[in-house]
Structure 1
Amino acid sequence: MDLQITATDPSHPATLLDLPWDVPLERWPDKHLVALPRGISRHVVRFARAGDEVVAVKEVGEWAAVREYALLRDLDRLAVPAVDPLAVVTGRTGAQGEPLEPVLITRQLKGSLPYRSMFETTMRPDTIKRLLDALAVLLVRLHLSGFAWGDCSLSNTLFRRDAGAYAAYLVDAETGQIQPRLTDGQRGYDIEVAQVNIAGELMDLEAGGSLHPAVDPVAFGLAIVERYGELWHELTRTSVYPRDKRHYIDRRIRRLNDLGFDVAEMQIQRSPDGDKVAFLPKVVDAGHHQRQLLRLTGLDAEENQARSLLNDLETWMAGQEDYAPGDPLGARPEVLAHRWVRDVFRPAVRAVPLELRGGIDTAQLYHELLEHRLLLSERAHSDVGMDATAADYVTQVLPTRPDPSAVVTAGPEEAAPAH
């Protein structure tokens, strides 16, 4: 059988032909290899240079290679975070004509690391928690897409940190299967496997002295089950909001925030019955919201203030007709953010007279207006809008708010007793 390369891109076979397919992968010359950290695998895996790209090459049986290649292509079409499949190479033979195992080729995920490389320096418990949260997000997204993983583990995942956000990517789909809809039993099996695998992998790190002493492997294995359940419930329950009850969307976002997740993307579908909202969660690191708000709007705020403002910006953008994530014809987030500052943020802040603010900075003021709007909307069972909110805030809240610039001096009766 002749060498055959099945590729997703017509340009790849030409660059892949330069690799030494007549040599077993474990004996490939160094000139073809790239020194990058590799995770634990049942198969021989190497990173190699093909043209201008770095690719991961895995030796595996032909049936498994073709099947995994197809699954990864399906996941790519479903926009699920996973490594990008490039090609399958079959018909390999050695120098003496002996048959060699086929290979699956995927694109190296830039900036990503296997979990063992991340634990080379002792990782703080909070950071480990965020990584497991990112894995819970990945598992939920896979299940929502109808993909049953079958072997969810840290070893089968790559992690990437991008501007304060943590993301997990599936790197091994060998045991997976895609169906129109997963049963509760299929999801439960994946969760159980994840719990056992993660606890075992953390125990392995503990035995090697690479795990923080405050981390209990069994407890962290149980934690991902809990995080998955909370996130699955919040993302899958169907809600259709009347168009005059935008505060329901705000309340839903806050519930995700309370679970420790942020909204990476929001989709609002218009229908005669109301607005149906879908959320895409993400896991973020400290300071992420400050940096993102500053980049998008130029507003400098504290972390919690920035989170509140970004939630409002995301809700507002999702309702704009020219907002289409991933569509090159849609307005870019930076353009919409500038419009939000001009048409939403500034008018709301200016509705509160400068002399009545008592030294409140604009980011805190807008955050308080958002909090007050939610309160008024909950009472009215309808979104009251920012104009009515600002007017009520000026007349009802500011007069009762302590002046932060005031200096309180204790009277004689309040003075501390002399010793």
Structure 2
Amino acid sequence: MALEITAVRPDPALLDLPWATPLEDWPEERLAALPRGISRHIVRFVRVPEGVIAIKEIKDEIAFREYHMLRALNRLAIPCVRPYGVVSGRVGADGEPLDSCLLTHHLQYSLPFRALFSQTLRPDTATRLIDALAVLLVRLHLQGFWWGDVSLSNTLFRRDAGAFAAYVVDAETGELRDRLSDGQREHDLDIARVNIAGELMDLEAGGLLPEGNDPVEISNQIMARYTQLWHELTGVESYNVGERWRVDERIRRLNQLGFDVDELAMSTDVDGTTLRIQPKVVDAGHHSRRLLRLTGLDVEENQARRLLNDLDTYRAALDVQGEDEAITATRWLNEIFLPITRAIPADLRGKLEPAELFHELLEHRWYLSERHGHDVPIGQAMADYILTILPTKPVEETVVGVDTVEMPVVASREE
């Protein structure tokens, strides 16, 4: 057998890695200190010239299947880790064949859920994670993807202006179809509910779940959140023909949820008195796409919404409502956002990504203004935030000082 690397742009540096050694036995000097979630497979992080990659040791057929599935999900703009390649044809020093390895790019500023709970978090953190996972599941189902192993452990989370954004990290059981039946969607939800309850029970037994959180009750929330969002995005509504303004209202409501309507199906009944409307294709990322178009900033959806709100406030303060929005956005970027994010001391920049840091700074400014009874200048708020708040944050860019594999787990389940 000959070692083979399958990738879009394979880096020759990959050949220097110890592929003849089982992944579990790779020397520490080869590894990057990143938090690992619980997995049925051996997973390690390694630094290469292009950045950090995650390496998962799995059977040859499964590795190639997941690699191509992740590529398909990326083409559909589904939030998931980006595949790097597959290393196959591995042979150990004893001449025995070794499993293949799936390589994916590390998602910066992302954390497995157990690493999040190792920090001091708000009591409603579990609920916010469930909300993020429900949104992700809706997006997957709209694209015809059946996950088959929905869980917090198979998801990575990035902070998103006080909420979280969820990303698929394990797609080996998934299937991509033209359309999912109601039964297939419900099956995914049942899997999610059971897995999440078990995962939260593990946290509870380890003393990591804040008091007052019922694992079963929280896991059931994914059903309600998913159903509510699915109906809003796909449900049929009927109006009187004279209420056509409600069509625009439906579109605005979808935009507020962060979704764009690409196509609408409208019809009237036989006598033409009732109008029926249903979104045909719904794309997520309404606010993030608008911010990207105006400023070039590529951020999460809630972060984009928060930054756009600050941009609107900036426009109002300048009294330039009639000026081209793109011109004002460029001024806001160069006069507000970039100077603030670039003023962060170099040793603190890995704490939070710039958009999340800007959101937290706005929150801190509001808190200071409320405490002092008057508007606090942004510069004063930034100085206080850098002095009192930011140093207490864990570094989330690439390294978190906890190995989640060693955190307490009660049940020995395959997640």
What range is the shorter-chain TM-score in?
0.5 to 0.7
> Letter of the aligned partner of 2:314 in structure 1?
G
Matched, 1:152 2:113: no
| Structure 1 partner of 2:311 | 295
> Letter of the aligned partner of 1:293 in structure 2?
N
| Structure 2 partner of 1:118 | 116
* TM-score with structure 2 setting the length: 0.65
CA contact (8 A) 2:285 2:301 kept: no
Relative distance call for 1:164 and 1:123 in structure 2 (3 A) is: closer
| Structure 2 partner of 1:3 | 3
Deviations 1:2-44 (A, max 9, x none): 0000002x2x242322211111111112222100001000000
The two structures, once aligned, show a CA RMSD in angstroms of: 3.7
Matched, 1:280 2:276: no
CA contact (8 A) 1:147 1:176 kept: yes
| Structure 1 partner of 2:213 | 215
Q: Which deviates further from its counterpart, 272-281 or 79-88? A: 272-281
Give matches, 1:10-21, under 5 Å: 10=9, 12-21=10-19
SS at match of 2:258: strand
> Letter of the aligned partner of 2:86 in structure 1?
V
Percent of aligned positions that are identical? 51
Deviations 1:322-370 (A, max 9, x none): x9xxxxxxx79947999xxxxxxxxxxxxxxxxxxxxxxxxxxxxxxxx
Relative distance call for 1:55 and 1:240 in structure 2 (3 A) is: farther
Relative distance call for 1:266 and 1:287 in structure 2 (3 A) is: closer
Relative distance call for 1:294 and 1:91 in structure 2 (3 A) is: same
Q: Which one scores higher on RCO, CA 8 angstroms, separation ≥ 6?
A: 2
Give matches, 1:206-355, under 5 Å: 206-237=204-235, 245-251=244-250, 253-254=252-253, 262-269=256-263, 278=282, 280=284, 289-295=305-311, 298-299=314-315, 334=329
Matched, 1:28 2:22: no
Relative distance call for 1:17 and 1:129 in structure 2 (3 A) is: same
| Structure 2 partner of 1:353 | none
Q: Which deviates further from its counterpart, 79-88 or 243-252? A: 243-252
1:299, CA displacement in angstroms? Answer: 4.8
Relative distance call for 1:222 and 1:334 in structure 2 (3 A) is: same
CA contact (8 A) 2:251 2:261 kept: no
Taking the aligned partners of 2:109 and 2:182, their CA distance within structure 1 comes to: 34
SS at match of 2:35: coil
Pairs aligned (count): 305
Taking the aligned partners of 1:57 and 1:263, their CA distance within structure 2 comes to: 35
Relative distance call for 1:61 and 1:287 in structure 2 (3 A) is: closer
| Structure 2 partner of 1:183 | 181
Give matches, 1:37-186, under 5 Å: 37-186=35-184
CA contact (8 A) 1:43 1:59 kept: yes
1:278, CA displacement in angstroms? Answer: 3.2
1:83, CA displacement in angstroms? Answer: 0.6
> Letter of the aligned partner of 2:185 in structure 1?
R
Deviations 1:117-144 (A, max 9, x none): 0011353333321211110011111111
> Letter of the aligned partner of 1:250 in structure 2?
E
> Letter of the aligned partner of 2:6 in structure 1?
T
CA contact (8 A) 1:296 1:337 kept: no
Relative distance call for 1:289 and 1:174 in structure 2 (3 A) is: closer
CA contact (8 A) 2:189 2:223 kept: yes
Relative distance call for 1:335 and 1:272 in structure 2 (3 A) is: farther
Deviations 1:148-170 (A, max 9, x none): 11110000000001444521001
Deviations 1:224-258 (A, max 9, x none): 1111111111111257999994553335544x69x
| Structure 1 partner of 2:389 | none
> Letter of the aligned partner of 2:130 in structure 1?
L
Gap runs ≥5 in structure 1: 302-312, 314-319, 324-330, 339-419
CA contact (8 A) 2:67 2:83 kept: yes
* TM-score with structure 1 setting the length: 0.64
SS at match of 1:89: strand
Relative distance call for 1:296 and 1:99 in structure 2 (3 A) is: farther
- Between structure 1 and structure 2, the one with the greater Rg is 1
Gap runs ≥5 in structure 2: 268-276, 288-299, 334-415
| Structure 1 partner of 2:395 | none
Taking the aligned partners of 1:267 and 1:285, their CA distance within structure 2 comes to: 16
SS at match of 2:65: helix
> Letter of the aligned partner of 2:5 in structure 1?
I
Q: Which deviates further from its counterpart, 60-69 or 274-283? A: 274-283
